[in-house]
A and B are shown apart, each in its own frame.
Chain A
Amino acid sequence: MSPNSTVYRGKSGQWAFLFHRISGFLIFFFLLLHIVDVSLINVSHELYDEVHELYGNILLRLFECGLLFGLLYHSLNGLRIVLVDFFPEGVKDQRPLFWGVLFVTFAAGIPGSLVILWPWIDGNLL
């Protein structure tokens, strides 16, 4: 990334901003899809169950792990933005806060993903 072409000059804030956008964008479109799949319960319970079974598929389980990482990152980085905005002296800590956001995202995302993937791991690897 050219240092002069980006708002935050390619440093950690640039990545924090970019990941926040991408995760928010993807979560929004998943939300639209998710409203449709849950709403199928109004058509018939059988149809809901049929479509819903797909979420147990390994590919969708991997997708759910991605969703978990996206949600964690977007939530925690959002919290970082709120902290920096409402406590202006906190701006000087924005970089360590960003590393904290990444650390907690992985610290919670990895065990969470293991739980999500467990039925597959249990049936295929163990």
Chain B
Amino acid sequence: MATSTRPPSAGSTTELRPDRTARRRPKQNFETWSWYFMRVSGLVLLFLALLHFAVTHIINDVVETDAVFVEERWDNPVWRIFDWTLLALALLHGLNGLRWIIDDYVRSPAKRAAVKATIYTVSAVLFGYGTLVIVTFEAG
């Protein structure tokens, strides 16, 4: 257990302060960064996603957000940047969350690899195509 103050005996002979080994800060690995990323991106997404929803469902009725609406909105590069940031952060945040869910519930290594490969591929394709649409869109 991480809360134990007694380190495991093996390997602790070279440790100068063996009683503190278990309390040492863990190394900054990928999971540490993914933990921070979820919190930071979550805070940004709170504003981006709720504002996006408000614009497309509350301030405007959903049927008004037709192709002409998109043309007018994407005429302004700030909205393109807004939409692309939302696309990128939401996909990464969702993908990382789904990765945690898959690790929790898909226990067989083969199935886990297959499910992850599928989800990552689909997300990468959609991210690439979504980016292309936002960048290359032209009115008319």
Interface of B, secondary structure class, is: helix
Range class of the A interface residue count: 35 or more
Chain B interface residues (CB < 8 Å from chain A)? 39, 42-43, 45-46, 49-50, 53, 57-58, 61-63, 65-67, 70, 87, 90-91, 94-95, 97-98, 101, 122-123, 126-127, 129-130, 132-133, 136-137
Q: How far is the CA of A71 from the CA of B97 in the complex (A)?
A: 15
Select which of B43, B46, B126 is within 8 A of A35 by beta carbon. Answer: B126
Number of inter-chain CB pairs below 8 Å: 95
A95 within 8 Å of B by Cβ? no
Q: Is the CB of B61 within 8 A of A82?
A: no
Residues of B within 8 A of A38 (CB): 70, 130, 133
Q: How far is the CA of A41 from the CA of B77 in the complex (A)?
A: 17
CB distance from A35 to the nearest CB of B (A): 5
CB distance from B92 to the nearest CB of A (A): 11
Select which of A61, A67, A82 is within 8 A of B43 by beta carbon. Answer: A82
Residues of B within 8 A of A31 (CB): 90-91, 94
Q: Is the CB of A41 within 8 A of B133?
A: yes
Q: Is the CB of A48 within 8 A of B67?
A: yes
Q: Is the CB of B57 within 8 A of A116?
A: yes
Chain A interface residues (CB < 8 Å from chain B)? 21, 24-25, 27-28, 31-32, 35-36, 38-39, 41-42, 45-46, 48-49, 52-53, 55-56, 61, 64, 67-68, 71-72, 75, 78-79, 81-82, 85-86, 112, 115-116, 118-119
